[in-house]
Each structure stands twice: as structure tokens, then as C-alpha cells.
Amino acid sequence: YVEQREYLVGGELRMWGGDLNPVRSPVFVKTARGVEQKVIGATPLLTSQESLEALSAAVKAYDHGRGAWPSMRVAERIEHVERFLVAMRAQRTAVVNLLMWEIGKTQGDSEKEFDRTIDLIVETIRALKELDRTSSRFVQEQGIMAQIRRAPIGVALCMGPYNYPLNETFSTLFPALLMGNAVIFKPAKFGVLLIRPLLEAFRDCFPPGVINIIYGRGRETVGALMESGQVDLFAFIGTNKGASELKRMHPRPHRLKSVLGLDAKNPAIILDDADLDNTVKECITGTLSFNGQRCTALKVLLVHRKVVKPFLERFSAAVDKLKPGMPWTPGVALTPLPEPGKTDYLRGLVDDAVSKGAKVVNELGGKVNQSFFFPAVVYPVTRDMRLATEEQFGPVIPVMVFDEDEEAVRYVVESQFGQQLSLFGQDSARIGKFIDAFANQVGRINLNCQCQRGPDTFPFNGRKDSAEGTLSVADALRVFSIRTLVAAKTT
Ligand code: G3H
């Protein structure tokens, strides 16, 4: 049990004396009252006042770009981040443990998230050195000599999702810091305690006010920041609803630069000549790693009628073989879900489809035990069912059938979302036609493999309601900075 009262403002770990927010694990345990979700800690329920104090600290540290941090040489800023990395590495066990307890991520995936985050920061440093080298170069054109400088933007607010509470938040927070911005960071709703082991390192490795970490209800704490109009950069990975509500609160939206990773409904299109062994393998991890709680998960399978039967047989059998268990148990693939009420929500999606004519085709599909939901393969899903378009963000796999390639194309172009998609098939001319049709519809087209974000050095973005701006190591550095031209006439 971690009772956390500390939060970070202006280089101080302040102690909160007010109400606390209990942190419940998705893992159920036996207690004197029966079987219930284990309370594993609590975090401060700060108010708008503390949140605005964090803002003042950030504004002061930035000081219109004249503060020590934004005016520091890049090499020196990198040294601060490298010191942080040393301290962060020492907290691997504590953070990995909390990833398992707080969000139910398997041990292997929790370790991967931690290590991947370290790699991402290291790569960001490498990319910054490169950017610094190239952007300080002089260019000469039409009688003008110019140097294009990269300058910070101001105060950044960074918020990430519960499914990658470390990796995704740090993928915006560190580029923001490295480019010289001052940051306010509000950890995710679940996966919040795991920042506690890093608070001292944040305090010790950065000048006061450069990084401020606040806790509490979003509307109150983050709402106050947005309404102040003093947030210059908004880095948010979460839902469309959350992002638009917060953006709307900013009194000068034209002054707010946003980078957003939002909802997705990534389809896999499985053609009649697809290699079914590979397709099933990729679709299992694509739909179900971390119980389908990845923004990049495959969230609907569109299968050609000629192969739908063999595909469903093999896919359902493979789903039913997946082992549920606790995150720390070796070989486990399915773990408890952290969102309260999630099993009811998923049940509702399945019931809606079933009431309109679909079936759960795998034997174990939809069985609920505490916060476990055994993956349900639902077929045939049609356009009138919620599962056809709604992002389930969990272990329900809608399967739709198509006869003509054009039907699959239409599904994608008519979708509200456009993050990624996967194409499974062998005929390169046919695949080429799909690629042409989709190149302006999604951020990434995966051929004969599942959707995924990595490697983190690749651009990560999306179209339509799925994203705004591009993240990745090098792109993020551009997002969190602005180019200033220093130009002089040479003739
Ligand atoms: O939830 C969205 C993540 O960025 C997905 O990352 O594809 O590596 O699981 P991933």
C-alpha cells in the first residue's frame, strides 16, 4: 500500500494535507468482507489552487523563454535528462511492479514498457543532437543568408493514457523538456502510483519549476490550467471526448498547439489468398495483447467470405487457448481489466450485436470472472451494430464479412477514425490497389502483420478523429519547438 501525499511544484515535493483518491487494483483479493478489488494506495486529490500554483511555477521557470532552462545549451539540457535516466533505471523493479498491480499488465509487457521508455528517451537525445547539428546550419538563397533555429514554445501540459502510463506520457514529456519547455504533467487515471518512485529524480534532476507533477480530478485540476489560457502546448493521449472538452476550455485556442493521440478502430482486412497461419497468429496478438487495450489494437476484422469459415475456426480455437491469470504469472495472456464497469460495458456491446443477429462463436467468449472478461469473437457483425464502429478498447473481437474488395475499402474510407490498418493477402497487384486507396486514410498500413506503434523512431500519427500531429522520437522534437529564422541580406 502506497499512501502518496507528495506532489511536485516549483522544485519542491509538497505534502498534501487534504483528501486522497484511493487507487484500486484490477486484481481482486480475499478480505474479511469477501472477495474485492485490492486498494493498493492513494494519491492527492489536489484542487484548482494547487494546479494553478504548478502553472505559476512553470510560467516562472519558462519566463517568456528567458528562464535558465529554455535558454540553456542543448548539451547541458541533455545532461539533466541523462542524470534522470540513471535514477530512473534504478527504479525499474518498483515501477514494473506497480504497472502489474495498477493496470494488470503482464510482467513481460510491463518490463517491455519500462525498457522501451528508457530506449525512447535515449533515442530522443540522439535525435536532438542530430537536430541541433542540422538546425544550426546556415542556408543561403536569393541573396539571403539564414540560420533556422529551433526554439521552445512555452508551458506544456502532458497527459497520457492508462494503457501505457509510462511510455506514452514520457513520449511527450521528454521531448517537451528536451526542447526547453516547462512542463506540467498529470499522470494517467490508472497507472498513477507508478510515477511516485520517480518523483525525487524529477525534483533532483531538473531546475525548479521545469517539471511539475500534479494529481487529482481532471476537470478541476487540468480544467483550471486550460481556463487560465497560459498553457501553450497540449500533449494528450486519450479519448476524443476528453481532448475536446479540455481544448474547448482554453480561451485562446489559436495560441494552443496540440499533439493528440485519440480513439481508433483499426481494421484488419483479410483477403481470400491470405496465409491463414500467419494471419491468425498476427490477429491474436493484434486484437488481444494487453486484452485489446491498446490504441493500436486491431478492433475489427473484415474477412473475405471465401475464407471466413476456416479463419473463424482457427482464430476462435486460438483465442480459447489463451491463458488467463495474474499479471505476474508466467505464460499468462489475459489479465484483469483496470477500468471499473468495463466488463458490463463489453457485455453490453456483445448483447447489442447478439440482439441484432450475431453470435459469440468461441466457446469461452464473454465469460466474466471478477475483472476478467474472456475474449468474445462475435460474428457476423453488421454495420447496424455498435461493435462495427465503436472503439471497444477491450477483449471483444467483431468479425465482419465482405465479398468485394470495394466493401472493405468503403468501411475504411467511411470510418470516423484513421489511425492504422492491417492487410493480409498475397497478390501484390491487389494489395497495391488497397494501399493506393488507403494512403490518405490512415497513418500506417501494415502488410501481413498486426498494427503497432513501434519502433518508436517511426512516425506515429493518424487521420480523421484519431490524432492531431505526429509523435515519434524526431517528430516529437519538432512538435515541441518552433523554427525561428535568423536572416540577413548578403547582397
Ligand atoms: O495505445 C497505444 C500505444 O501507442 C500502442 O503502442 O502498438 O506498441 O502497443 P503499441
Identify the residue whose C-alpha is closest to ligand 1 atom 4.
453
Please tell me the distance between residue 161's alpha carbon and the centre of ligand 1 in angstroms: 10
pLDDT score, position 149: 87
What is the average pLDDT across 12-41? Answer: 93
What is the average pLDDT across 297-313? Answer: 98
What is the average pLDDT across 53-65? Answer: 98
Query: Is residue 24 exposed (0-12), middle (13-18) or buried (19+ Cβ within 10 Å)?
Result: middle
pLDDT score, position 325: 96
pLDDT score, position 285: 98
pLDDT score, position 162: 97
Backbone angles phi, psi at 454, to 5 degrees: -75, 170
Q: Does ligand 1 have an atom closer than 6 angstroms to the CB of 164?
A: yes
Give the atom of ligand 1 at the shortest distance from the alpha carbon of 116. Answer: 8
Please tell me the distance between residue 296's alpha carbon and the centre of ligand 1 in angstroms: 5
Pairing state of beta strands 396-402 and 376-379? parallel
Q: Does ligand 1 have an atom closer than 6 angstroms to the CB of 311?
A: no
> Is residue 327 pLDDT above 90, yes or no?
yes
pTM for this prediction: 0.96
Identify the residue whose C-alpha is closest to ligand 1 atom 6.
453
pLDDT score, position 491: 78
Identify the residue whose C-alpha is closest to ligand 1 atom 2.
295
pLDDT score, position 134: 82
Q: Does ligand 1 have an atom closer than 6 angstroms to the CB of 452?
A: yes
- Give the rounded percent of residues in the chain with a pLDDT score beyond 70: 100
Give the atom of ligand 1 at the shortest distance from the alpha carbon of 161. Answer: 1
Reported confidence tier of residue 479, pLDDT bands at 50, 70, 90: very high
What is the three-class DSSP state of 429? Answer: helix
Ligand 1 pocket test, pick from 110, 119, 168, 290 with the greatest ligand atom count within 8 Å of Cβ, gives 168
Reported confidence tier of residue 133, pLDDT bands at 50, 70, 90: confident
Q: Which residues contact 329 (CB under 8 A, 6 or more apart)?
A: none
> Is residue 135 pLDDT above 80, yes or no?
no
pLDDT digits (tens, 9 = 90+) for 351-378: 999 999 999 999 999 999 999 999 999 9
pLDDT score, position 138: 87
What is the average pLDDT across 403-409? Answer: 98
Reported confidence tier of residue 29, pLDDT bands at 50, 70, 90: confident
Give strand ranges (E) for 327-402: 359-360, 368-369, 372-373, 376-379, 396-402
pLDDT score, position 94: 98
Mean pLDDT for all residues in the chain:
96
pLDDT score, position 314: 98
Please tell me the distance between residue 320's alpha carbon and the centre of ligand 1 in angstroms: 24
Q: Does ligand 1 have an atom closer than 6 angstroms to the CB of 454?
A: yes
Between 56 and 138, whose confidence is greater?
A: 56
Cis peptide before 251, with omega less than 30 degrees from 0? no
Alpha-helical runs (H) found in 145-295: 167-178, 199-205, 218-228, 240-248, 276-288
Q: Does ligand 1 have an atom closer than 6 angstroms to the CB of 391?
A: no
Give the atom of ligand 1 at the shortest distance from the alpha carbon of 454. Answer: 8
pLDDT digits (tens, 9 = 90+) for 212-263: 999 999 989 999 999 999 999 999 999 999 999 999 999 999 999 999 999 9
Please tell me the distance between residue 252's alpha carbon and the centre of ligand 1 in angstroms: 31
Identify the residue whose C-alpha is closest to ligand 1 atom 7.
452
